[in-house]
Structure 1
Amino acid sequence: MTVELVKHTATDTDVLWAARVSTAGEQSLEELDKDPARSKGLINYLMRDRHGSPFEHNSMTFFISAPLFVFREFHRHRVGWSYNEESGRYRQLEPVFYIPDAARKLVQQGRPGKYEFVEGTPEQLELVGRSMADSYRRSYEAYQEMLAAGVAREVARATLPVGLYSSMYATCNARSLMHFLGLRTKHEQAKVPSFPQREIEMVAELMEEQWTKLMPLTHEAFNTNGRVAP
């Protein structure tokens, strides 16, 4: 999984001038030239009491590469998000596929809402790698055969599996990103437990790493208040 922050207008100051317009009107623009750290308490108050709209006046655009099954979960997040994804109708898709490494826990135990994942055996890891690689190879060979025979890309792509890598631009604001992180990461400070699939969690962690650098006070308040989006 790779995540690149390609464009942004996002700082802690954006939260402050948006919040202070309710009491200061046009004078809230003075916040643009002030140190946001002096208003750390206001950001925490807004987060704690869930005054969410001041966290929407910013924008971040990420370029993300991940398997198709990750994007299918990702696209469930619609409020405050915009997406444009690579299209198999308009370009030939490259043979880049996902195979879990040894760090990916393979065995699920328990019931939904209570389950956990544990380490797989070396035999299971070998089976997963070999089976996926064989399946990917056969499906991509079928894809190439159809393209060579003149079959349209949008038809031939149907043979490709969800382990195929795709790429997309995803644009969001801090409020929508916090909602995404609250659901797609498992974190010790989270007030509400979440059980994300590991692969989308890996993407979320990389996005959070970039966001933390842009809005450190907002990120700190997010963690302090249980990682619940305001």
Structure 2
Amino acid sequence: MSDTPAETKPSFRSDITVDLVKHTAGDSDVLWAARVSTAGEQSLEEITKDPERSKGLINYLMRDRHGSPFEHNSMTFFVSAPIFVFREFMRHRVGWCIAGDTEITLESESGTLRRRTIADLYRLWHMDVEDRLPHSAGGVTWHGPSGKWTAQVRREDSNHYLGLFENREAADSAVVEFREPHPSTRLRKLEPVRRTHVRCYDEETLTASRARITDVIESGVKPLIKIITESGRELRSTVDHAVLTPDGWRKAGELAVGDAVMAAATDPHPSEALVPPGLRRGIGVWTSMQRERLIEEEDSCHLCGAEFPRSDLALDHVVPVEGDLTRALDESNLAPVCAGCHATKSAEEQSLARREGKIAVARPDRIVSIADDGEEMTYDLSVEGPWHNFLANGIVVHNSYNEESGRYRELLPVFYVPGEDRKLVQRGRPGKYEFVAGTDAQQEITERAMHDSYVRAYEAYQEMLAAGVAREVARAVLPVGLFSSMYATCNARSLMHFLGLRTQHEQAKVPSFPQREIEMVGERMEEHWAKLMPLTHAAFNANGRVAP
């Protein structure tokens, strides 16, 4: 085995770190939320009058399972841990979720939009593959100009147009009805849904983009609220789910009638004639002058991820000059691009301008109604950055879990090896088992086996990158013991749910048997939370560590 270069030599660690990076959380938030209905504006004064009364109120809310007052706060943690910990974190996270019938807007590479419910995406992602026929062979597609679904089939070398329909179900039914007396003998092509991209939005310019789905999560049965906007859009989500507003991200439960949310819209697409030829040439000259400074001797195309020498790369305006002239001389809007991707992107931008004369943007949509909407199974998406948002029934929403991406940067060789205090041997059966310390021989073989496999895997990763293989492909050889990082946002109620599942505690009414590494994350998050909200934390423990 060849020696690994010093700058990329794997390192090993057993510590998992959790930092609180920002918060708006305190016991006063719980007290204010509980008392505002009876004390109104005086509720803030009531909080400071009687500390013992405040302690009793929080304990009462916890004991009698009044959960909503514990949701009016927010904590964002930065977690550094092995990848397998994040897989556990995603399975057991709570909070930011939407109803299963919510339609997600998907966008193809050519810009074609279609919609699918998040429950369907979950089923296809985890249990199936998408059964899809090309349009020429028959199928249902979204017809943007009319705002309806179109259905057509192909039989005996002829296309049969079946009409426009108000919803997808009606269009699907029309295709089925036609096929029954006229069955097709063509073999269908199965396409993995894991290649799917969603429509997302640049949160600075509010222009539309697309992002790859990285996971679809089933989050359990939770209470929902329904938000209805002036344009007729409906969003059914948990109160924690983050929604984009003109003032930034806000929790759905914090919104009120009269507030606005950002929703899908269009603006007139600027014509190239709006940028004078002389100014266009000047922008081109200035952009060319930045090549030597902003493109490395060997660099990657920001669109396809492949590595190229500087001579084969140009600088691309990520947000086109025609889309936002104010960013024409903004260095942060420049990124390396290969000749092929540059030509394709330019053609798509020009084609869009000629075809529609409009550009997709997000615009405010006023809320006209908010109401409780029962309980049912909920779901969430994780999407790649940089924006981590998507359209849910036409409204811009966020995911709560942003993990470091191995698609856009080379992953560093830092790997997890259990410390000597990590118990290695499992005894008993699931639900009844316990872990005990391993022998010196078991500790030695664990460390040696992990070290050897990590080094071999990272050497293979480096070899693939050196050969020009894209990062998103090469990372497949890396093990789940690789350290990664993420931002996770929650409120006190959702954190208590997480702690009840992922930590062991002598005061817990319901026993839990978490993997030790995810428990370490929970313990560190709890340490930060206990300092911010000591009365709430004490009531949580006193009432059996069951979230309200």
Shorter chain as normaliser: what TM range?
A: over 0.9
Q: What does residue 212 of structure 1 align with?
A: 530
Aligned with residue 66 of structure 2, among 51, 59, 80: 51
1:78-93 correspondence runs (5 A): 78-81=93-96, 82-93=400-411
Matched, 1:176 2:494: yes
Q: Deviations over 1:97-140 (max 9, x none)?
A: 00011101111010110000011110000000000000000000
1:185-200 correspondence runs (5 A): 185-200=503-518
| Bigger mean CA deviation after superposition, 17-26 or 7-16 | 17-26
Q: Deviations over 1:61-104 (max 9, x none)?
A: 11000000000010123432511110000100000000011101
1:53-72 correspondence runs (5 A): 53-72=68-87
Q: What amino acid is the match of 1:156? A: A
| Bigger mean CA deviation after superposition, 49-58 or 76-85 | 76-85
Q: What does residue 76 of structure 1 align with?
A: 91
Aligned with residue 474 of structure 2, among 156, 177, 182: 156
Q: What does residue 16 of structure 1 align with?
A: 31
Q: What does residue 426 of structure 2 align with?
A: 108
Whole-angstrom CA distance in 1 between matches of 2:470 and 2:427: 43
Q: Deviations over 1:29-60 (max 9, x none)?
A: 33466575541000000000000000000000
Percent identity between the two aligned chains: 84
Q: Deviations over 1:175-219 (max 9, x none)?
A: 000010111100000000000000011111111011110000000
Q: What does residue 5 of structure 1 align with?
A: 20
The unaligned stretches of length 5 or more in structure 1 are: none
Contact 2:47 2:54 in 1 (8 A): no
Matched position secondary structure for 1:213? helix
Contact 2:94 2:497 in 1 (8 A): no
Following superposition, the deviation at residue 21 of structure 1 comes to 1.9
Whole-angstrom CA distance in 2 between matches of 1:179 and 1:78: 8
Matched position secondary structure for 1:202? helix
Whole-angstrom CA distance in 2 between matches of 1:158 and 1:100: 23
Q: What amino acid is the match of 1:218? A: T
Matched position secondary structure for 2:414? coil
Q: What does residue 412 of structure 2 align with?
A: 94
Q: What does residue 114 of structure 2 align with?
A: none
Kindly indicate which of the two structures has a greater share of residues assigned to helix. Answer: 1
Q: What does residue 26 of structure 1 align with?
A: 41
Whole-angstrom CA distance in 1 between matches of 2:51 and 2:95: 24
Whole-angstrom CA distance in 2 between matches of 1:33 and 1:217: 14
Matched, 1:136 2:151: no
Contact 1:98 1:164 in 2 (8 A): yes
Whole-angstrom CA distance in 2 between matches of 1:34 and 1:85: 43
Judged with a 3 Å threshold, the aligned counterparts in structure 2 of structure 1 residues 15 and 138 are, in CA distance, closer, same or farther, namely same
Higher relative contact order (Cα pairs below 8 Å, separated by 6+ residues): 1
Contact 2:425 2:438 in 1 (8 A): yes
Judged with a 3 Å threshold, the aligned counterparts in structure 2 of structure 1 residues 167 and 37 are, in CA distance, closer, same or farther, namely farther
- What TM-score do the two structures reach when normalised by structure 2? 0.41
Judged with a 3 Å threshold, the aligned counterparts in structure 2 of structure 1 residues 87 and 35 are, in CA distance, closer, same or farther, namely farther
Following superposition, the deviation at residue 28 of structure 1 comes to 2.1
Whole-angstrom CA distance in 2 between matches of 1:4 and 1:32: 29
Contact 1:16 1:36 in 2 (8 A): no
Kindly indicate which of the two structures has a greater share of residues assigned to strand. Answer: 2
Q: What amino acid is the match of 1:130? A: R
> How many residue pairs end up in the alignment?
230
Judged with a 3 Å threshold, the aligned counterparts in structure 2 of structure 1 residues 170 and 226 are, in CA distance, closer, same or farther, namely same
Whole-angstrom CA distance in 1 between matches of 2:39 and 2:95: 27
- What TM-score do the two structures reach when normalised by structure 1? 0.96
Whole-angstrom CA distance in 1 between matches of 2:82 and 2:26: 30
Matched position secondary structure for 1:189? coil
Judged with a 3 Å threshold, the aligned counterparts in structure 2 of structure 1 residues 204 and 221 are, in CA distance, closer, same or farther, namely same
Matched position secondary structure for 1:76? helix
Whole-angstrom CA distance in 2 between matches of 1:6 and 1:34: 31
Whole-angstrom CA distance in 1 between matches of 2:48 and 2:438: 54
Whole-angstrom CA distance in 2 between matches of 1:141 and 1:6: 34
Following superposition, the deviation at residue 23 of structure 1 comes to 1.9
Whole-angstrom CA distance in 2 between matches of 1:93 and 1:37: 51
Whole-angstrom CA distance in 1 between matches of 2:491 and 2:459: 41
Whole-angstrom CA distance in 2 between matches of 1:88 and 1:6: 23
| Bigger mean CA deviation after superposition, 98-107 or 20-29 | 20-29
Q: What amino acid is the match of 1:136? A: Y
Judged with a 3 Å threshold, the aligned counterparts in structure 2 of structure 1 residues 164 and 20 are, in CA distance, closer, same or farther, namely same
CA RMSD of aligned residues (A): 1.3
